[in-house]
Structures are given as structure tokens and as C-alpha cells.
Amino acid sequence: MPKNIVFESVKIYDIGSKGQSIAKSNDGIVLMVKNGVPGDVVDIKTYRKKKNYYLGNIIKYHSYSKHRVEPLCEHFGLCGGCKLQNISYDYQTKLKEDKIKHSLNNLFENVIIDPIIKCKKKFEYRNKLEFSFTQNKWLTSREIDDKNKIIDRRGVGFHKSGMWDKIIDIKKCHLQGEPSNKIRNGIKDFAKKNNISFYNNRTKNGLLRSLMIRSSSQNQFMVLIQFFENNKDEIKLVMNYLKNSFKEISSLLYVINDKDNDSIYDRETVLYDGKSYIEEKINDLVFKIYPKSFFQTNIDQTIKLYQTILDFSDLSGNEIVYDLYSGLGTITQFIAKSSKKVIGIESVEEAVTSAKKSAVDNNINNVFFETGDMKNIFSSNFVSKHGICDLIITDPPRDGMHKDVIREILKLNTPKIVYVSCNPSTQCRDLELLKEKYVITKVQPVDMFPHTDHVENIVLLESK
Ligand SMILES: C[S@@+](CC[C@H](N)C(=O)[O-])C[C@H]1O[C@@H](n2cnc3c(N)ncnc32)[C@H](O)[C@@H]1O
């Protein structure tokens, strides 16, 4: 079938895994479009054929879904984040719940899923944003139409949906509280006025490369600028501007990165002013967050997530607990008071060092950590060293757990496992293997990221 086909009066019925809307024609052809809301009836013109579906654009609306709302953000539709902003929050969370139900009910019978824990804050819920500088910002259709205007294409913002080399210049992002927007817009104007160059990710030149802003509920702000070149004078100019203009910044750092990719994990960060970390509180625990450390990005929901993990664990104080993929040791310490001892395993050394330090600061002395790749560390030697556990908590990255890790878990016959996941499809894949010895007894989805299709899910498994 050729492309550029028009499908008339089709109904959008779902949202796909990357936030696109899905429609189906009368003869069963699947169509993926942007910005549709389940319930909209539309005409779609296709522009590309994929293996099992067509990509298309909505060219006419016949009727609008009752779940459709006006997006708050002026960048909605172009920016790669917050793709569900045109769907009411209640319906967004219903879609997330349905996604979990659908994947679990395909595998297990009679699974009861508790209603999703919703976010109170629908905006300004993130404590970390990363922006990219560009010499060549994406032009809006209004800018393209305005033939007479000479456009300054320098900008700072987020990637256009699905495009690594196209940056949308962001004027206001609603995901993080102030002074986040003031810092980003301030540095952009300052650099323009002082002719400090912006990075070009195709030609690989330009000084200003990226901006990371981290905040905490303790009103502390960390700003890290990534420069492409070690141009000392201009770096000083930018850093002094930030230091003198934003008294809120308690940790000001930079990094030089002349590699092709943006990752700073193998680069040395330079502290320019203030402390090398910011602090975050989870109940009475304090954590130091360093520039390269992973930390949960929605603190209010993290507390609810951790409380559910603790409730599911149902600890008496006498248990040995393994906390797999422990990051900064936040779950490890959250459950420590209720356990005999907790052992965390994590591959990032900086995170483990920080976890050990914060445990000392928090006066917790029944937690231990091992550093390394889970599939190597989590073995019979580990069990002999730390003792047979009564509970496993596992919180793997999006890819889920390695098969060897699951094999090791199955050998242990641990009575209970609490599996926390940010990716329902890899979680289901792993649960299918664990099904050999376990049944699911509780499921609690948590919405950490309103307006995105991401959902966190906690599953309690008990041995058969
Ligand atoms: C989803 S985070 C969970 C962190 C922590 N539980 C929390 O609540 O903040 C996953 C963690 O797994 C770590 N990780 C990823 N791959 C790993 C591996 N192969 N072995 C050990 N840790 C790994 C990451 O560095 C990250 O800290």
C-alpha cells in the first residue's frame, strides 16, 4: 500500500509507548499520529510506512475527545517532553493504570492492581533538568513564515521529539520551579550579548554545550555548565555571571567535554563556587547529591514510592534484606530502621561512596554496600558473606534485570521480593521468569511524571 493515504473519520483509541496516539482504520490498519487524544475522531494522512503500522498527521478533527484539555505549555507539540499535556490528568493516570493491567493480566490470572498513586503537583515536580545549547534552533512555523525578519538561531532548550540534532529554544519550562527559567534565559541573553559561542552538534564547535539545573526541597540549587572547549577567559566570564546574578545557586560547577557525545560521566567536574553537592531530605534522612549521581527526580512521589516499598516489605526488625540496584542507598537507608541489616548493590562507585557517607551522616550502622555489576556481584559468595536474606528489594534500570541475576534470585528461595520498576514491559518479562517460584500478591503503580507516558510500578511477590 502506498504512503500519503488519507484515512477518514478514524477514532484515536490509545497512547503508544513513546507518547504517540494510536488509531485503527475500519480494515484494521494501525496509524500513529502526534497530539491526538483517545476519543478524538479525525482524518489522518500517512507519510511513512513502518513494518506493522503507518506514521501520519492529523489533517482534520471531526470531533474532540472529552478527555482533551488545553496544554499549559507554549512549547507543547514541538518539545520532546510532556507529550500527554493535552489529556486531562485523571485520564492520563487511567491510561497508565490500564498499561500496567494490560501487561500483567496477559501473564498472570486474578492480579489485583491498586489504584495508581497520583501526583499532587502536576507541574514544577522535577528536581533536575538538562538543557542543550544550539547555534541552530528549530524554527517554529511562525518564524519561518516571517520572511522579513532575520532570525537569531542561537538557543537553549530541549530536543525536538525524536530528533537528536534539533533543539527547541525553551522560553518557559513548567517542570521545575524558579529560578530555573531565569537561569536558563539569563545565561542565553548574557552569552548572546558577550558573543560567547553556542555549540553546534553537527559541526562540533562552539563553547556553551549544556546546562544542568538541580534543585532540592531544601531550596538548594546546583548549576553545572558543560563547555566544549577549555577557553579559560570566556568560561570565567560565564561562571562569574552565574555566581553574581543568582544567589540561590549553592553549588556552581562546570565540566569540559570535547568528546562527540554529551555524557560527562568520564569527565572531571570543576567546582567554581559553593559546595560540590546539594542536599535532599527524605523524611528524617539527608542525602548529598553530587553532579553525576542518580537521584529520583520527583521527591514528593519518591517518598510515597518508598513508603509503599516499606509497607509491602512488612518488616519486623529481624530481617536481612538485599537492596539490588541501590543507587545512592536511599531505599537501603529508608528501610534500615525496620530491618536487622540491609545490603545494597550498585555499579556506580560515586553513588556507593556517597551512600556510605550519608549512612554515617544519618547515624545508620546496619547498612552495607557492594560495588560492581549485579550479575558478577550477586552470587553464592555474596550470600555466604552477608547471610541468607528474608527479603529482596530490586529496583533495576529500564532494561530490567539480567537473566543471570534472576537465576540467582530463584536459587535463593527468598520468601518475599519487592520489584520496583520504571518500565512495565521489562518488569513483565522478568516476572514471567520469577513466576516459576512466586505469585504476585500486591501491585501498586505510582505516577512520578505527569504528562509523560512513564509509570513506576511496585510488585510484591511471595513464594508459592
Ligand atoms: C532505577 S535506579 C534505582 C536507584 C535507587 N534504588 C533509588 O531508588 O534511587 C537503578 C540503579 O541501578 C544501577 N545499575 C544499573 N545497571 C547496573 C548493574 N548492571 N549492576 C548494578 N547496578 C546497576 C544504576 O546506576 C542506578 O543507580
pLDDT in tens, 242-290: 999 999 999 999 999 999 888 888 899 999 999 999 999 999 999 989 8
Per-residue pLDDT tens over the stretch 161-214 = 777 788 999 999 999 999 999 999 999 999 999 999 999 988 999 999 999 999
Query: What is the average pLDDT across 326-354?
Result: 95
CA distance 128 to 412: 38
Instruction: Output the CA angle 184-187-192, nearest 5 degrees.
Output: 125
pLDDT at residue 1 tops 70: no
Say yes or no: domain 6-63 is CATH 2.40.50.140. yes
Q: Is 347 close to ligand 1, i.e. is its CB under 6 Å away?
A: yes
Q: Is 377 close to ligand 1, i.e. is its CB under 6 Å away?
A: no
pLDDT at residue 146 tops 80: no
Q: Is 327 close to ligand 1, i.e. is its CB under 6 Å away?
A: yes
pLDDT, position 68: 97
pLDDT, position 103: 87
Residue of the CA atom closest to atom 17 of ligand 1: 347
- Report the range out of 3-12, 106-115, 211-220 with the highest average pLDDT: 211-220
> Which atom, in ligand 1's list, is nearest to the CA of 323?
6
CA dihedral 160, 161, 162, 164 (to 10 degrees): 20
- Please give the backbone phi and psi of residue 233, each rounded to the nearest 5 degrees, phi first: -65, -45
Q: Which residues contact 11 (CB under 8 A, 6 or more apart)?
A: 23, 24, 39, 40, 41, 42
CA distance 324 to 378: 9
Q: Are 180 and 157 in contact (CB under 8 A)?
A: no
Q: Is 351 close to ligand 1, i.e. is its CB under 6 Å away?
A: yes
| Residue-level length of the chain | 464
Q: What is the mean pLDDT of the chain?
A: 94
pLDDT, position 2: 60
pLDDT band at 350 (very low <50, low <70, confident <90, very high): confident
pLDDT, position 17: 74
For residue 272, the one-letter residue type is Y
pLDDT band at 446 (very low <50, low <70, confident <90, very high): very high
Q: Are 45 and 5 in contact (CB under 8 A)?
A: yes
Q: Is 408 close to ligand 1, i.e. is its CB under 6 Å away?
A: no
Q: Is 252 close to ligand 1, i.e. is its CB under 6 Å away?
A: no
Query: What is the average pLDDT across 291-298?
Result: 89
pLDDT band at 344 (very low <50, low <70, confident <90, very high): very high
Residue ranges of the domains in the chain? Answer: 6-63, 90-121+298-463, 128-282
pTM beyond cutoff 0.85: yes
Query: What is the average pLDDT across 323-345?
Result: 97
**For a pocket test of ligand 1, which of 287, 347, 418, 422 has the largest count of ligand atoms closer than 8 A to its C-beta?**
347
- What is the whole-number distance in angstroms between the Cα of residue 366 and the centre of ligand 1? 21
Closest residue by Cα to residue 129 from 89, 157, 165: 157
Residue 264: CA count within 13 A, CB half-sphere: 23
Q: Is 325 close to ligand 1, i.e. is its CB under 6 Å away?
A: yes
Is 128-282 in the same CATH topology as 6-63?
Answer: yes
Per-residue pLDDT tens over the stretch 48-62 = 998 889 999 999 999
**For a pocket test of ligand 1, which of 305, 325, 420 has the largest count of ligand atoms closer than 8 A to its C-beta?**
325
Query: What is the average pLDDT across 385-411?
Result: 96
Share of the chain above pLDDT 70, in %: 99
CA distance 198 to 200: 7
Q: Are 83 and 59 in contact (CB under 8 A)?
A: no
Residue of the CA atom closest to atom 13 of ligand 1: 325
CA distance 444 to 140: 41
Residue 302: CA count within 13 A, CB half-sphere: 18
Superfamily of domain 90-121+298-463: Vaccinia Virus protein VP39 (3.40.50.150)
Fold of domain 128-282: OB fold (Dihydrolipoamide Acetyltransferase, E2P) (2.40.50)
DSSP state letters, 362-418: TT--SEEEEES-HHHHSSHHHHHHH---SEEEE---TT---HHHHHHHHHHT-SEEE
Q: How far is CA 264 from CA 211, 279, 294, in A?
A: 12, 21, 13
> Which atom, in ligand 1's list, is nearest to the CA of 325?
12
> Which atom, in ligand 1's list, is nearest to the CA of 402?
19
Closest residue by Cα to residue 419 from 313, 337, 341: 313
Using left for φ > 0, alpha for ψ between -120 and 50, and beta otherwise, residue 82 falls in left
